[in-house]
Amino acid sequence: MCDCGITKPLAVSIVKFKKTYLRNLSEIYMVSDTSKLSLLGAGSTNYEYSSPTADLLEVFDNPRPEVPFVIGLDCLEFTSLCPMTGQPDYGSIYIDYVGDKLCVESKSLKLYLVSYRNHGAFHEDCVNSIADDIVAKINPLYLRVFGDFNVRGGIAIKPLTIRRNSPMASELRDEIAELFASFDRLSARGPRG
């Protein structure tokens, strides 16, 4: 018996119940097809530090493709190397998008962004490469990638790029603009771009 008064057999029963109950709940309420995902929930993680490639990104079906909504993803510990000096550059990458049929899985995005760790590229190139790779994987209706890099040499570099899925009906374009205005206003991060 532990200090809380629960005996070992009771604790074992509680754990078994929770595992069974949670498994049943996940089967009942599973709304997304996760069969394409190999990284999320994997027993181990392989970190690649030198070669960013879109192949690292995994996707899943948009659970609500009929309703435009903004997905905001913040990487507050982005690192790459200066291509001229080899010195590390640090910053934050903010990715906001309105998906179409697919969404980016967050663990694979983390591993993709970590792959820039030993990659030499200017900040502007990093931000545009990230946008290009995400567009290649999910073809979102709208994508905004903003890099907020730490000061080096007295200058903070803050590249922003936007990609739009063309053609886009004016009603949808207006709705997406309104979504982003609301997202920026309500987000703790504040407006970007």
| Residue 132: active-site member | no
| Residue 89: active-site member | yes
Strand partners, 160: 146
CB 137, CB 96: distance < 8 Å: no
Give CA angle at 66 (63, 68), nearest 5°.
Answer: 90
Active-site entry in 61, 82, 100, 132: 82
Q: How far is CA 174 from CA 15, 62, 65, 169, in A?
A: 50, 21, 17, 9
The answer to the question of whether 66 is labelled as a binding residue is no
The answer to the question of whether 106 is labelled as a binding residue is yes
Q: Quote the tokens at residue 77.
A: 């510990």
Cβ atoms within 10 A of the Cβ of 84, count? 8
Q: Quote the tokens at residue 170.
A: 């004016």
CA 171 from centroid of its chain's CA atoms: 27
Active-site entry in 89, 96, 133, 148: 89
Q: Quote the tokens at residue 57.
A: 């990104």
d(CA 147, CA 121): 13
Q: Quote the tokens at residue 49.
A: 């530090």
The answer to the question of whether 124 is labelled as a binding residue is yes
Give the residue numbers marked as catalytic: 82, 89
Report the binding-site residues for substrate.
104-106, 123-124
Which residues line the annotated binding site?
A: 104-106, 123-124
